Amino acid sequence: MTHPAILETKEAFGETTLIADPARIVDLCRHLKDSEKYIRLSGITAVDLHPSEPRFEVIYHLHSLDLNKRLRLKCRLSGAQPEIDSATGVWRSANWYEREVFDMFGITFRNHPNLVRILMPIDWEGHPLRKDYPVHGYKYSYPSE
């Protein structure tokens, strides 16, 4: 499989991982869906590598029913302003998956139709799955009774 957006290919435990160029991710997704038969997007998630840089990895799990194969795409994003193009135009299922990643990691998906929090309350501050987010949340000051 060759595509200009693929920077590196890795094999481990029988799973293939493609490291992709985040600038051309939509191109690559469309190619994989149309030409390589990866018609299902199983999920999108992210990993926070804080404090190293590039800080975030956005991970796409693809699945092809015809070939009975799975594929992992990985994009590395800088921590300063994590942004990547949305894959909603390729698979509609990306909609909620990307909202979850945005909610949990604060990664912005450009051209997403409705990029709002999905699991946390709409007015929540911070992104809970970032490594610098404390597990008990930020301290609250409770009004005295």
Between 4 and 126, whose beta carbon lies closer to other proteins? 126
Site residues (CB under 8 A) for other proteins?
A: 12-13, 15, 17, 39-43, 45, 47-48, 59, 61, 65, 68, 70, 72, 91-93, 95-97, 100, 104, 117-121, 128-129, 133, 135
Task: Count other Cβ atoms within 10 Å, centred on residue 62.
Answer: 23
- Min CB(145)–other proteins separation in Å: 27
Start-to-end Cα distance in the chain: 65
Between 23 and 119, whose beta carbon lies closer to other proteins? 119
Per-position b or e across 2-18, b if 16+ CB within 10 A of its CB: eeebbeeeeeeeeeeeb
Strands 83-85 and 40-48, by their bridges, are unpaired
Between 115 and 129, whose beta carbon lies closer to other proteins? 129
